Amino acid sequence: MTTSLSPNALPVLDYLRRQLDGTLRPEDTTHMRYPTAISQLLGFRIVEIGEAMAVIELDADALRHGNQQGTVHGGLLCELADAAIGTAHSTLMDRGESFTSIDLRATFLRPVWQSRLLARAWATHRGRTISHYLCEISRDDGKQVASVTSAVMTLRGDHAQGR
């Protein structure tokens, strides 16, 4: 995880690409925190990264991530989508910029009991301040389980401080 920012900090996209391909060095830093605490806690893994896009996977199991009906909790699917969307948007952030989700809407299509889930997120509109994303989550049988849209606000200057 990045704790101090060197003047030679990598852009987020370069940092994550190096992390994925195994060439990230201990001295490499970026201005955002990777891996995030919540991703580590829940076991999310970045498996693909590009400009304004990300794919994150999770081994989901209702015994660990379940609700009272015995299926994987919808809140976990929302968190997975939010992580994929946030990772996608972070690839656009320059030093001194940050962001926050301002809207998240989920449509659940089918249940999950146990499956490797893939959350694919990409920008559908990239604005200077507000960007929109779509994230589709699918099971390892290829069937889509949820569709999540989000609006993300880029923060700059004083608004980005401490975020």
Predicted confidence at residue 8, as pLDDT, reads 76
Task: Identify whether the C-beta of residue 103 lies closer than 8 Å to the C-beta of residue 148.
Answer: no
> Rounded to whole angstroms, how far apart are CA atoms 146 and 5?
37
- Strands 130-138, 144-156: pairing kind: antiparallel
**41 close to 35: Cβ distance less than 8 angstroms:** no
Does 4 reside within a domain? no
Would 58 be classed as within a structural domain?
yes
The CATH number of whichever domain residue 80 belongs to comes to: 3.10.129.10
pLDDT of residue 6: 65
Percent of the chain with pLDDT over 90: 87
pTM, whole model, 2 decimals? 0.92
| Residue 1 belongs to a domain | no
Domain residue limits at 62: 12-160
pLDDT (0 to 100) of residue 16: 97
Span 57-61, mean pLDDT? 98
Edge-to-edge strands of the sheet including 130-138? 45-50, 53-61, 114-126, 130-138, 144-156, 97-108
Residue 139 in domain: yes
Predicted pLDDT of residue 163 = 55
Q: Looking at the predicted structure, is the pLDDT value of residue 3 above 80?
A: no
For the stretch 132-155, pLDDT in tens is 999 999 999 999 999 999 999 999
> Residue 25: is it exposed, middle or buried by C-beta count within 10 angstroms (0-12/13-18/19+)?
exposed
Mean pLDDT of the chain: 93
> Structural domain tally of the chain?
1
Render pLDDT for 74-116 as a digit per residue (tens, 0 to 9): 999 999 999 999 999 999 999 889 999 999 999 999 999 999 9
